[in-house]
Amino acid sequence: MTPAPTLHFLITAGPTREPIDPVRFISNRSSGKMGYALAEAAAGAGHEVDLISGPVAIPVPADPRIRLVPVESTRQMYEAVKARLGEADVAIMAAAVADYRPVQVSSQKVKKSQQGDWVLHLQKTEDILGSAREALGFAGFLVGFAAETENLEAYAREKMKRKRCDLMVANDVSQPGIGFDSEENEVWLFHADGGCERLPRAAKTVLARELVRIIERLARDRMRATST
């Protein structure tokens, strides 16, 4: 039997940082472990991977099939995705992208002595996943992650529809020991056709291998369906 052709994965991972001044920024608790585990799993299954990563403390992956693209801000992550999405068969957006950035970035450190209360005026950042279909013209298999603390299914399904994903991977980040900056995770998969399945709590590396197997199968089914 001829082996199935290699797929090209684009994966986002880690947090983004939005500067306030030269020493301060807005960010979140993402460690990048989930996204890097997905990149290792996809490369381990023989696929090519563009890993677009915010600032993390994880070593550069050794697998030569993984091309690491380090970025810092949401705008840089958006530009890196935009430049590479056209080559991808599968895009998995596991990054915890900062939703807001300060409207004004001070070029000098803001001194405490100048401040009473400090009110920051924030504006929305680019919605990278939400731009994939229309603005960036991505026609491949699109996977979003949903980090929720309540109403997991309703919120994840709403995001999946609004951002036009084929699959939404939802994690309850209010649960101790899973989600942000932990070794383990537990996820629900919501499919665009209405189906759902649960992958029980396991190491992110184990879950990532299972996720890649599922995503690879669904992506190939979709490719076959659209080519006939």
Strand segments, DSSP code E, in the chain are 8-13, 18-21, 24-26, 48-53, 66-70, 90-93, 100-102, 122-124, 141-148, 167-172, 184-191, 196-203
Among 11, 38, 51, 129, binds ligand PMT (CB under 6 A): 129
Q: Is 10 in the site for ligand PMT (CB under 6 A)?
A: no
Contacts by 44-47, CB closer than 8 A, 24 or more apart: 44/209, 45/209, 45/212, 45/213, 45/216, 46/3, 46/6, 47/6, 47/7, 47/8, 47/9, 47/212, 47/216
Q: Is 53 in the site for ligand PMT (CB under 6 A)?
A: no
Stretch that binds ligand PMT, among 40-48, 57-65, 124-132, 191-199 (CB under 6 A): 124-132
Number of residues that bind ligand PMT (CB under 6 A): 30
Stretch that binds ligand PMT, among 57-65, 89-97, 107-115, 215-223 (CB under 6 A): 89-97
Contact pattern from residue 185 through residue 224 relative to ligand PMT, giving x for each residue in contact according to CB under 6 A and a dash for the rest: ----------------------------------------
Q: Is 88 in the site for ligand PMT (CB under 6 A)?
A: no
Query: What is the pairing mode between strands 24-26 and 48-53?
Result: unpaired
> Is 28 a residue of the active site?
yes
**Quick one: which of 202, 185, 173 has its CA closest to 28?**
173
Nearer to ligand PMT by Cβ, of 14 and 140: the residue is: 14
The SS3 assignment for 75 reads helix
Identified catalytic residue from 28, 151, 171, 185: 28
* CB of residue 209 to ligand PMT, shortest distance in Å: 15
> How far does Cα 94 stand from its chain's mean position?
2
Show which residues are catalytic: 28
- Residues near ligand PMT (CB under 6 A) are 12, 14, 30-35, 74, 93-97, 99, 125-129, 144-147, 159, 171, 173, 179-181
